[in-house]
A and B are shown apart, each in its own frame.
Chain A
Amino acid sequence: MNDSFLLTILILSPLLGIVLLSIMPGDHRFINYMGVLGTVLPLGLTLIVFSLFDRSLSGVQFKEYHQWFELMTSISPNEPYTVAYDLGVTGLSVLFLMLASLITFLASLTALRIKESAKGFYILFLLLEVGILGVFASENLFLFFLFFEITLVSMFLLVGKWGGFNREKAAFSFLIYNGIGSILLLIVIIVLFVEMRTTNITELTMLLKDTDSLEFLSGSTRTWLFVLLLIAFGIKLPIVPFHTWMVRVHVEAPIAVVMIHAGVLLKIGAYGLIRFGVGFFPEQLKEMAVALAILGVINLLYGAFIALVQTELRSVLAYSSISHMGIVLLGVASFNTAGLQGAVFQTISHGLIAALLFLLVGVLINRFQTTKLEELGGVASQTPLFAGFLLAAGLASLGLPGMSGFISEFLAFLGLFEAMPVIGAVGVLGLILTAVYMLRAVLAVTFGERRTLFDNNRDLTAVELVPSAILLSIIIWIGVYPQVLSNTLQLARTLGIGG
């Protein structure tokens, strides 16, 4: 049953950093570097998993299975419910693991600027990483939930303590919304566990696909479970109108945390929707596909329109994220290979692009102490490298071919046009709006008259340049050679759909 202990080691690897950090004195001058080092080990291990992952095989790899505890119930005393410690990865989760540890590492570099109680910050930061890695490596819903909760707690503290002016409000908002999401998710998990007697994801996928299992779960129950799941992950994605918490976090959280939040944490919503929504309840999804597509279009246009009139860069990017996640919904709703592949691509791609954009916002805050569009302008003449990267990131975000955003949106819309051409025709308007708000925001920062107020600012330093260049290279790499994602993804095999 156990291929290796690689995944356990991977998930627990940030703990090494936590241990070392906790024995270091808080005012040590290398404390931040220690924190960064803490994320290097998980990155290395993920790379190993990524390269050892056999792309020619289908199904779950690097399985680990240990019985954890048993629950006796009065209903069936002879058959105890078994809860297992159950790890494993599919093509889908390998990609998310890679995304998670890469962005965490790059974000930790951005956090080098943090001076105030850096020790506590990095400890929580690494704890957050444990949660994220665990979420993507879990083969079991209970374990998934457990790790999911770890990310909530650590995020709450990171936002609440190291955030901006309204950090406490943002943290509470985050906690309440995500708490509600967790409860709904927990209900789904418990119902599935009680009825299906297992929480193993792959087993559940197989069992639920089998129509004979209707005796366990009636159609209407499944519909309700799917709706609950949709709301639970919809809050995370986020789906309008559950998005306000996420805008707050985007605006208030420290940049390193926003990078992870926008780049990885929100992606748990998409991951859950695809892995569990599509995996467990394909029939229900098909029934509700039109509704889902309409939600997607609303997300896409709503986010885009509001982003158009924001006066502050972080808000623009926050609403931009909402808009881009609408495309994920559209891809899922179209429920064909092109659409689903587009949804996964869009999730990964947006993770990388959002991380890059927020990394650059961090630079902006550091140099110019503002993210208000009207106070900025003409920075291209003082910091050309920064301006170049910001422009490139903006172009990536608006779906320029040759970068990852294009192929993702292209596939999602291609899928949608097969399934629902009319909704697709409305949706493509979003692509125009994206160009409008993105160029408006980026050009407001970089183009225009030079402001002498900002004279003598340093351009990107090495520690900013390297992560930016890494992210941009990957974005271009995926854009030029998207097969690099689909080779690993093997979507049809993972979800058992398509041709």
Chain B
Amino acid sequence: MDYVFLIPMLPLLSFLIILFTRPIYKKAGIVGTLFTGAAFLCSLIVLFSHFAEGNYIVEANWFSLDTVIITVGLEVNPLNALMLVIVTLVSFLVHIYSMGYMANDERYATFFSYLGLFTFSMTGLVLSPNLLQLYMFWELVGVCSFLLVGFYFYKPEAKAAAKKAFIMTRIGDIGLLVAIFLLFWQTGSFELDVIFEAAQAGDIAPSLITLIAILIFVGAVGKSGQFPLHTWLPDAMEGPTPVSALIHAATMVAAGVYLVAVTYPLFSVSEVAMTTVAVTGGFTAIFAATIALVQTDIKRILAYSTVSQLGYMMLALGAAGYTAGVFHLTTHAFFKALLFLAAGSVIHAVHEQNIFKMGGLSKKLPITATLFLIASLSISGFPLLAGFFSKDEILATTYGDGRYVLFAIGLITAFLTAFYMFRLYFLVFSGNSSTEARESPSVMLIPMMVLGALAIVGGYIQTNWFGTFLGDWLETTPYSITFVHHEAPFWLPILASVLSIGGIALAWMMYVRKTTSIKESNERTGLHELLYRKYYVDELYQVVFVKGSRVIAYFWMYVDRFIIEGGAAVITGAVKRFGQAGVKLQSGQVQTYGTVAFSGLVLVLLLIAVLGGYF
């Protein structure tokens, strides 16, 4: 496994080559795709050698602080081997797709260089065996996200969204940073294994572990768009759609979930921290799902869906469902990336993002429509597709963990998910259309097909019928994580299927048959308006934090300008006046000079007389 280092290095090379060789401009896509493809191959090899050889870690000295040596390294364990495959696969597919989607963009090469930088950072993050290194890459993926959200920098919305993405996630990052500081002074190390050992040996006070775990979770909340730091993620849809698929659906936003999974030994020691994770996740899941019910922008619906699904994963992790969380992360990466790529294909064809202005596209874009349908069914938890299994696993875990309220929330969310996904699907694809649209080129369709296949079969890595391959494999982690496996009650898959199909059916009645009395009117009132306005969270933040900090800033600025500068002006003025008094003496009049000289002489004589003791 000594070539693990190639996995981050290849995308980095791709970034550097594209950055420094402007002449190959039009070939940037091919260069990027080849390098990422190679990285994907390496990840596959690493995955299979992990099956054979087990865990792997290599470290080198990076920096020394007194006697503490801070290392950098690469670690392969089940969790990050899986993440590596997901990241490089989705990145590779998005690279191919972007060759079509971005073909006419002026900054084609820049786009691919950013993708390379992102893939480097994300794989680096995943491979980190210590928290400092993880944090560094954590910030780097944030910057890549920032750069790509702001890719259309000339659009004021993109500028605002990029800034927001960076700042909101940084608020979370500070939590993680403080957690790292505290852990270092508790354990004297950034190394995960040392930290976990100390935590489980009881070397850290329980209350402190809870605090640290929650601080780490704050970092995860920022990155994974969990309530209350979720507002940046829907805005991040200003970025090009392939980016939304790669960064804001499949990989980077899942890094928060990954972070909780990585530091799971810390969380599992603290009941309070676990509950915090579960409740935040469950709340975010239903909160975002309700918002997604009424949005009209195709990408924003998917974005809220992502927020909701990430909440689902957090819920699983908080309910002691390590396997369930990681499993849903995996299947979600496939179907959500596909949803975004398919949405991109639609946008590419019709240059429109409002779903109420689309319709009947299944005839114009048959392949895109089919793939979108597969992904929608999968995310809705339609029986036997990937999402069905992972969602069931989460529900079973929550139920088994005795968190019945959260379990109920999970069920409702599942229903809402099916509804809003098919609201979207039917509005975009069913009915008749008058708009001109051409199916996307195969360079865009083929990556989508690969994801479509995975969205169908991806769930079979962990089922109660064929085997819990994923769960068994994850248990080979080098760290001590307690794996709880709850057998789902027999009625659960049935109930989940009913809810899923029920949601689809309701959407069908409302938007295809239009038979129900419930209709979505253009006049939004009451609850509808509240949901459409996303519970006014943005407005609240605008008033409290943005305006609030500006008020503080202006206060200090006026203090600076009037009190401090004023004080300074007094001093400066005094010095000046003293100087000017001196200048006046230099009048050129001999009489003045004479007076001054004579006064001085008298003074000196007096001093001598007094001090010399002549009196």
- Shortest B471–chain A CB gap in Å is 34
* With known contacts A411-B65, A425-B178, A244–B568 Cβ distance under 8 A: yes
Say whether A428 contacts B177, CB under 8 Å: yes
Q: Check A400–B159 contact: CB distance below 8 A.
A: no
- B154 near A450 (CB under 8 angstroms)? yes
Q: Which residues of B contact A400 (CB under 8 A)?
A: 139-140, 143
Shortest C-beta distance, A246 to chain B (Å), equals: 11
Nearest CB of B to A105, in Å: 25
B152 and chain A: residue at smallest CB distance: A447
B137 touches A401 (CB 8 A): yes
Q: Say what secondary structure dominates the interface of chain A.
A: helix
Asked if B67 CB lies within 8 Å of chain A CBs, one says yes
* Contact status of A443 and B170, CB under 8 A, knowing A173-B572, A400-B140: no
**Nearest residue, chain A, Cβ from B107:** A384
CB–CB B154/A305 < 8 A: no
B174 nearest in chain A by CB position: A428
A residues within 8 A CB of B599? none
Residues of B within 8 A of A309 (CB): 550, 553-554, 557
Tell me which residues from 552 to 573 in chain B have a Cβ below 8 Å from any Cβ of chain A.
552-554, 556-557, 560, 564-565, 567-568, 571-572
Residues of chain A lying within 8 A (CB to CB) of residue B554: 309
In the complex, which residue of chain A has the Cβ closest to the Cβ of B576?
Answer: A172
Report if B150 contacts A (CB, 8 A): yes
User: Given the interface contacts A244-B568, A395-B143, does A443 sit within 8 Å of B159 by beta carbon?
Assistant: yes
What per-residue 1/0 map shows which CB atoms of A394-407 lie under 8 Å from chain B? Answer: 01000011100011
Least Cβ–Cβ distance between B179 and chain A, in angstroms? 11
Cβ–Cβ contact A499 & B174, under 8 A:
no
Docked CA distance A417–B572 (Å): 39
Chain-A contact segment, one of B161-169, B424-432, B513-521: B161-169
If A402-B140, A449-B154 touch, whether A176 touches B553 (CB-CB below 8 Å) is no
Say yes or no for A440: interface residue by CB 8 A criterion: yes
Report if B490 contacts A (CB, 8 A).
no
Digit string of B520-564 for contact with A (CB within 8 Å is 1, else 0)?
000000000000000000000000000001101110110010001
Q: Which of B565-586 contact A (CB under 8 A)?
A: 565, 567-568, 571-572, 575-576
B184 contact set on A, CB distance < 8 A: 414, 417
Say yes or no for A219: interface residue by CB 8 A criterion.
no
B135 to A173, Cβ gap below 8 A? no
Shortest Cβ gap from A249 to chain B (Å): 13
Is B196 positioned at the interface, with any CB of A under 8 Å from its CB? no
B62 on the interface (CB 8 Å rule)? yes
CA–CA, A431 to B171, complex, Å?
A: 9
Give the distance to chain A from B151, nearest Cβ to Cβ, in Å.
11
Asked whether B3 is an interface residue with its Cβ less than 8 Å from the other chain, the reply is no
B interface, how many residues as a size bin?
35 or more
User: Which residues of B have CB within 8 Å of A410?
Assistant: 132, 177
| Proximity string of chain A (293-335) to chain B, C-beta cutoff 8 Å, 1 when within and 0 when not | 0000000001001101100000000000000000000000000
Q: Does B64 contact A (CB under 8 A)?
A: yes
Are A421 and B182 in contact (CB-based, < 8 A)? Answer: yes
**In the complex, what residues of B have CB within 8 A of residue A414's CB?**
181, 184
- Cβ of A443 and Cβ of B167 under 8 Å apart? no
> How distant is A396 from chain B, measured CB to nearest CB, in Å?
11
A241 and B171 within 8 A (CB): no
Interface string of B287-327 (1 = CB under 8 A from A): 00000000000000000000000000000000000000000
Q: Are B139 and A401 in contact (CB under 8 A)?
A: yes
A341–B139 Cα distance when bound, in Å, is 22
Are B556 and A305 interface neighbours, CB within 8 A? yes
List residues of chain A with CB within 8 A of the CB of B163. 439-440, 443
Q: Decide if A428 touches B178 in the complex (CB within 8 Å).
A: yes
Contact with B along A486-499 (1 / 0, CB 8 A): 10000010000011
Task: Tell me which of A308, A378, A401, A421 contacts B549 (CB under 8 A).
Answer: A308
Q: Is A446 positioned at the interface, with any CB of B under 8 Å from its CB?
A: yes
Given contacts A306-B560, A400-B140, A402-B136, contact A173 B154 (CB under 8 A): no
Known: A244-B565, A305-B552. A435 touches B170 (CB 8 A): yes
Decide yes or no whether A483 CB sits under 8 A from chain B. Answer: yes
Q: Within the complex, which residue of A244, A413, A449, A492 is in contact with B66, where a contact is CB–CB below 8 Å?
A: A492
> Would you call B552 and A443 a contact (CB within 8 A)?
no
Query: What residue in chain A is nearest B164 (Cβ atoms)?
Result: A439
**A338 on the interface (CB 8 Å rule)?**
yes
A448 near B154 with CB under 8 A, answer: yes
Given contacts A309-B553, A417-B185, are A431 and B564 in contact (CB under 8 A)?
no
CB of B120 to closest CB in A, whole Å:
11
Q: Which residues of B have CB within 8 Å of A164?
A: none
- Look across to chain B and name the residue whose beta carbon is closest to the beta carbon of A180: B571
B-contacting residues of A (Cβ < 8 Å)? Answer: 172-173, 176-177, 240-241, 243-245, 302, 305-306, 308-309, 337-338, 341, 378, 380-381, 395, 400-402, 406-407, 410-411, 413-414, 417-418, 421, 424-425, 428-429, 431-433, 435-436, 439-440, 443, 446-450, 481-483, 486, 492, 498-499
A-B contact pairs, 15 of them (CB 8 A): A172-B576, A176-B572, A241-B564, A244-B568, A305-B549, A305-B557, A309-B553, A309-B557, A380-B154, A401-B135, A401-B140, A436-B549, A448-B156, A450-B154, A486-B63
Contact residues of B with A, CB < 8 Å?
62-67, 132, 135-137, 139-140, 143, 150, 153-154, 156, 158-159, 162-163, 166-167, 170-171, 174, 177-178, 181-182, 184-185, 549-550, 552-554, 556-557, 560, 564-565, 567-568, 571-572, 575-576
Q: A-B pairs with the 8 shortest C-beta distances?
A: A401-B136, A417-B181, A447-B159, A499-B66, A447-B153, A305-B553, A309-B553, A308-B553
A402-B140, A443-B162, A443-B163 known, 9 other contacts, Cβ within 8 Å: A243-B564, A244-B560, A401-B135, A418-B185, A429-B174, A439-B163, A447-B154, A483-B62, A486-B64
